[in-house]
């Protein structure tokens, strides 16, 4: 045995062992992407370097042998610098998406590709469970979310983005209408108590995930029922409150205690809750309508947008008369104008200072409002609200035109000198935003915008043990899915805090494709499917839900349009795992990608040479283990790629589909097709199972998802050389 020291730890290793083998045998991790004990040492990736005292150059631990008295450092500054450069060089030539753009653009980082793919496969329960790892109110959010995910959907480069939000609602509706809706498995009770102030989407989300983690959670809310702006700010025709009630009941089922009709500053304080709990989360929302600072706002008949919507939902609507002007261009303005129509107003105007193209409201909302009779007054801005005997009678409008783009990228509206218009109104609804009621949170420090000052990563406030999330913090009011995303991350932070741990909030490194290089010419066009809605002349007379939702056939057809942008090997990619260890910047070596993004596949294996990092494991395992040489390295330097002889399709080579190359590939360049017709990134776990092949016990690796056998990979020489097709192996496993 050889005596040596690695990272200050004295160990022994057999003579002839490599430093890598010695380190691994003693629980010391040295990263490598090109090493596997099944094949000969190659040393291609350059990641396994270590520093040894008395030796001037860095050693590749996969090939360097241990020596008596050797002192090795696997994480010295010099080693880390070398590995970072090696990783940056590898990633600079790796053309692939770790995660789909839809997921990256979702504020809650929901695995859109995953659940859309599962819906395409008819796996609705699995889709719902995946959604609920990030969103505890999917039926509600699926109905009201302005779907930033869809804005990033690459399907728009073929024709139209996928209807991701409606698919989320579809899966959630199926679950809610079952006899027994899904509830997650709860962890053991921790004995820790958390108080959440505010029962809106942020507060309910934080409570849900903390309760799953085993903490005792109580939510306090000032309104009669939970739901916050989902209940009191969104009309019934968009979000039936019966749906919201069912989802809140499922949150309560996890053990969350809900307390209504209690107000911060009156019935309790932050300090009083802190004295009774181990942590407090403030998620009070923004309940005050923003002012336009326009003369005449104090007149009777001029209402705030959320105040107006809340009055309707609570059953005591404001008297708006027959002529109504709604000021604003967002979804709250759409909710207000469409609600006014349903209350019987004969003329409903939307006053917006830009054009239709610049409206931030969802395009479908704008269109449906117009179908219901709403009149748009584009390029107009209120000059004054004019009254008589203290009651609003008309609105004076400044005619506008678009000038140069502002900070948002939209062209700035500027007044047209001398051009105005006046319209008679019975009421005006100001739907231009909302803000925090500052008196509610006087115990906490506010920022210069009048919102709670909270750390953007850890959500901590000026009071120890008190966290803040949602519309009441930092930048102010935003969309519900952003509050939900914050709440999910806050729950993890609070859980770590309660356990006396620190949480790493670094943004993980991911690879992204260059959008400009993607070719969509081979994609067959298939129009977006939108759920049917009630006819305009029917829906504008009631508060019945407008959307009729997807049928199963529609949902599966729409979900099947997914381009599967994200890597299906995301959860087990060794390249990505190593990339997280170091702060890498591959853009330093950015240049023309040496490999073309191609797909070459047969019935079982898909090859994508653009993701290849030239580790050589596939080529070496094919030759050294299977004695086949179906694939080989071709070319020199950065132009090298892995290809078949004469660039034949894989199924025209002597490949026997043993799957060994897929097992060893560290990047997702080689992937094995699953039984799902739509391939999705799943956190697959392989288990070793045994089958009888010609009287011999053969080993295969089997991946299952919700009981479905997704993949079977031969795991030994018997099963690899049995001459059985994958279908035959599947049948042996599934019976």
pLDDT tens for each residue of 30-54: 999 999 988 999 888 999 999 999 9
* Polymer length in residues for the chain: 735
CA distance 651 to 649: 5
pLDDT at 640: 83
Mean pLDDT value of segment 660-664: 88
CA distance 142 to 176: 13
For the ranges 43-47, 425-429, 706-710, the lowest mean pLDDT is seen at: 706-710
User: Does residue 219 contact residue 199 with C-beta atoms inside 8 Å?
Assistant: yes
> What percent of the chain is predicted at pLDDT more than 70?
98
Q: How many CB atoms lie within 10 A of CB 684?
A: 17
pLDDT at position 452 over 80: yes
pLDDT at position 469 over 60: yes
Residue ranges in 132-239 assigned as alpha helix (H): 138-144, 148-152, 164-176, 201-212, 229-232
- Strand order through the sheet with 600-601: 600-601, 605-607, 670-672
**457: which 2 tokens?**
């990563």
User: Residue 139: which pLDDT band, with cuts at 50, 70 and 90?
Assistant: very high
Helix pair angle (124-131, 112-120), 10° resolution: 170
The most confident of 251-260, 411-420, 565-574, 693-702, by mean pLDDT: 251-260
pLDDT in tens, 442-451: 999 999 999 9
Residue ranges in 38-108 assigned as alpha helix (H): 77-92, 101-105
pLDDT in tens, 549-558: 999 999 999 9
pLDDT at 600: 67
User: Does residue 511 contact residue 608 with C-beta atoms inside 8 Å?
Assistant: no
pLDDT in tens, 609-635: 889 899 999 999 999 988 888 889 888
The DSSP symbol for 681 reads -
For the ranges 62-71, 121-130, 334-343, 649-658, the lowest mean pLDDT is seen at: 649-658
pLDDT at position 371 over 80: yes
CA distance 726 to 672: 11
pLDDT at 599: 64
* Residue 329, C-beta contacts closer than 8 angstroms, at least 6 positions apart: 350, 352, 353, 354, 358, 359, 360, 361
CA distance 487 to 495: 12
Higher pLDDT, 590 or 424: 424
User: Residue 595: which pLDDT band, with cuts at 50, 70 and 90?
Assistant: low
User: Residue 408: which pLDDT band, with cuts at 50, 70 and 90?
Assistant: confident
For the ranges 81-90, 347-356, 672-681, the lowest mean pLDDT is seen at: 672-681
pLDDT in tens, 197-252: 999 999 999 999 999 999 999 999 999 999 999 999 999 999 999 999 999 999 99
pLDDT at 678: 76
pLDDT at 649: 83
Mean pLDDT value of segment 582-591: 88
The most confident of 407-411, 494-498, 574-578, by mean pLDDT: 494-498
First-to-last C-alpha distance (Å) of the chain: 49
pLDDT in tens, 64-96: 999 999 999 999 999 999 999 999 999 988 889
pLDDT at 33: 95
> What percent of the chain is predicted at pLDDT more than 90?
76
Mean pLDDT value of segment 538-554: 97
User: Residue 598: which pLDDT band, with cuts at 50, 70 and 90?
Assistant: low
CA distance 169 to 244: 12
CA distance 667 to 683: 15
User: Does residue 173 contact residue 548 with C-beta atoms inside 8 Å?
Assistant: no
User: Residue 684: which pLDDT band, with cuts at 50, 70 and 90?
Assistant: low
* Residue 678, C-beta contacts closer than 8 angstroms, at least 6 positions apart: 117, 118, 120, 121, 559, 560, 562, 564
Side-chain half-sphere exposure of 346, counting CA atoms within 13 A: 6
pLDDT at 204: 98
CA distance 96 to 99: 9
pLDDT in tens, 515-531: 888 889 889 999 999 99
User: Residue 405: which pLDDT band, with cuts at 50, 70 and 90?
Assistant: confident
Q: CA angle at residue 367 from 361 to 373, to 5 degrees?
A: 115
pLDDT in tens, 557-569: 999 999 999 998 8
User: Residue 706: which pLDDT band, with cuts at 50, 70 and 90?
Assistant: low
CA distance 238 to 331: 11
Higher pLDDT, 405 or 428: 428
User: Residue 409: which pLDDT band, with cuts at 50, 70 and 90?
Assistant: confident
The DSSP symbol for 473 reads B
Question: For residue 613, which of 663, 662, 670, 667 has the smallest C-alpha distance?
Answer: 667
User: Does residue 174 contact residue 200 with C-beta atoms inside 8 Å?
Assistant: no
pLDDT at position 182 over 80: yes
pLDDT at 354: 94
CA distance 278 to 273: 9
Phi, psi at 506, each rounded to 5°: -60, 140
CA distance 564 to 652: 26
User: Does residue 451 contact residue 444 with C-beta atoms inside 8 Å?
Assistant: no
pLDDT at 639: 77
Higher pLDDT, 576 or 647: 576
- Which of helix, strand or coil describes residue 157? helix
pLDDT at position 411 over 90: no
Q: What is the mean pLDDT of the chain?
A: 92
* Strand bridging mode 466-468 / 641-644: unpaired
Mean pLDDT value of segment 352-377: 95
- Which of helix, strand or coil describes residue 262? coil
Higher pLDDT, 626 or 142: 142
């Amino acid at each position: 045995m050889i005596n040596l020291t690695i990272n200050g730890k004295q160990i022994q290793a057999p003579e002839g062992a490599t430093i890598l083998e010695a380190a691994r045998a003693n629980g010391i991790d040295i990263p490598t992407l090109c090493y596997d004990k099944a094949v000969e040492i190659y040393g291609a990736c350059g990641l396994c370097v270590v520093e040894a005292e008395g030796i001037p150059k860095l050693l590749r631990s996969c090939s360097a042998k241990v020596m008596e008295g050797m002192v090795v450092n696997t994480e010295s500054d010099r080693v880390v610098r070398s590995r970072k450069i090696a990783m940056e060089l590898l990633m600079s030539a790796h053309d692939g998406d770790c995660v789909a753009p839809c997921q990256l653009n979702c504020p809650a980082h929901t695995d859109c590709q995953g659940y859309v793919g599962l819906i395409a496969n008819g796996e609705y329960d699995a889709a719902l469970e995946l959604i609920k790892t990030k969103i505890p109110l999917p039926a509600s959010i699926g109905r009201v979310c302005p779907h930033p995910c869809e804005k990033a959907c690459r399907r728009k480069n073929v024709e139209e983005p996928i209807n991701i939000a409606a698919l989320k609602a579809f899966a959630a509706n199926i679950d809610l209408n079952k006899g027994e809706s899904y509830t997650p498995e709860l962890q053991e009770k921790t004995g820790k108590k958390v108080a959440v102030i505010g029962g809106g989407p942020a507060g309910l989300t934080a409570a849900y995930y903390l309760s799953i983690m085993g903490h005792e959670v109580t939510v306090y809310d000032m309104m009669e029922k939970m739901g916050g702006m989902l209940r009191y700010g969104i009309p019934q025709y968009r979000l039936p409150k019966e749906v919201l009630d069912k989802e809140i009941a499922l949150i309560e089922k996890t053990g969350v205690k809900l307390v209504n009709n209690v107000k911060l500053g009156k019935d309790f304080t932050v300090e009083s809750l802190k004295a009774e709990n181990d942590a407090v989360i403030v998620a009070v929302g923004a309940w005050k309508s923003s002012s336009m600072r326009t003369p005449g706002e104090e007149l009777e008949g001029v209402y705030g947008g959320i105040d107006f919507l809340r009055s309707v939902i609570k059953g005591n609507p404001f008297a708006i008369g027959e002529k109504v002007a709604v000021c604003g261009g967002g979804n709250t303005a759409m909710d207000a104008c469409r609600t006014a129509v349903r209350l019987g107003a004969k003329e409903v105007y939307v006053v917006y200072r830009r054009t239709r193209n610049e409206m931030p409201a969802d395009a479908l909302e704008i269109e449906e409002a117009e179908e219901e009779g709403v009149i748009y007054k584009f390029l107009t801005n209120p000059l004054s609200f004019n009254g008589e005997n203290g009651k609003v009678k008309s609105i004076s409008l400044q005619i506008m035109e678009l000038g140069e783009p502002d900070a948002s990228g939209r062209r700035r509206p500027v007044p047209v000198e001398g051009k105005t218009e006046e319209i008679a109104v019975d009421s005006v609804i100001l739907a231009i935003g909302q803000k925090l009621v500052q008196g509610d949170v006087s115990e906490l420090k506010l920022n210069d915008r009048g919102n709670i000052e909270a750390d953007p990563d850890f959500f901590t406030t000026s009071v120890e043990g008190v966290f803040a999330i949602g519309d009441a913090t930092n930048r102010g009011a935003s969309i519900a899915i952003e509050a939900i995303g914050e709440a999910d991350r806050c729950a993890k932070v609070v859980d770590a805090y309660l356990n006396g741990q620190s949480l790493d909030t670094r943004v993980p490194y991911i690879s992204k494709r260059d959008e400009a290089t993607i070719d969509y010419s081979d994609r067959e066009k298939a129009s977006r499917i939108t759920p049917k809605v009630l006819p305009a002349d029917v829906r504008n007379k009631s508060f019945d839900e407008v959307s009729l939702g997807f049928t199963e056939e529609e949902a599966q057809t729409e979900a099947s349009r997914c381009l599967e942008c994200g890597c299906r090997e995301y959860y087990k990619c060794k390249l990505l795992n190593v990339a997280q260890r170091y702060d890498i910047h591959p853009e330093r070596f950015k240049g023309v990608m040496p490999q073309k993004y191609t797909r070459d596949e047969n019935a079982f294996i898909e090859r994508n040479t653009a993701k290849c990092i030239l580790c050589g494991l596939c080529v070496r395992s094919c030759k050294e283990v299977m004695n086949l040489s179906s694939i080989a390295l071709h070319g020199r330097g950065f132009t090298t790629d892995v290809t078949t002889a004469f660039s034949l399709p894989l199924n025209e080579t002597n490949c026997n589909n043993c799957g060994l190359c897929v097992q060893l590939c560290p990047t997702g360049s080689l992937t094995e097709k699953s039984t799902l017709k739509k391939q999705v990134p799943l956190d697959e776990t392989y288990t070793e199972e045994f089958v009888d092949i010609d009287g011999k016990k053969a080993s295969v690796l089997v991946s299952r998802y919700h009981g479905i056998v997704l993949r079977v990979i031969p795991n030994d020489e018997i099963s690899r050389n049995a001459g059985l097709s994958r279908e035959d192996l599947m049948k042996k496993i599934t019976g």
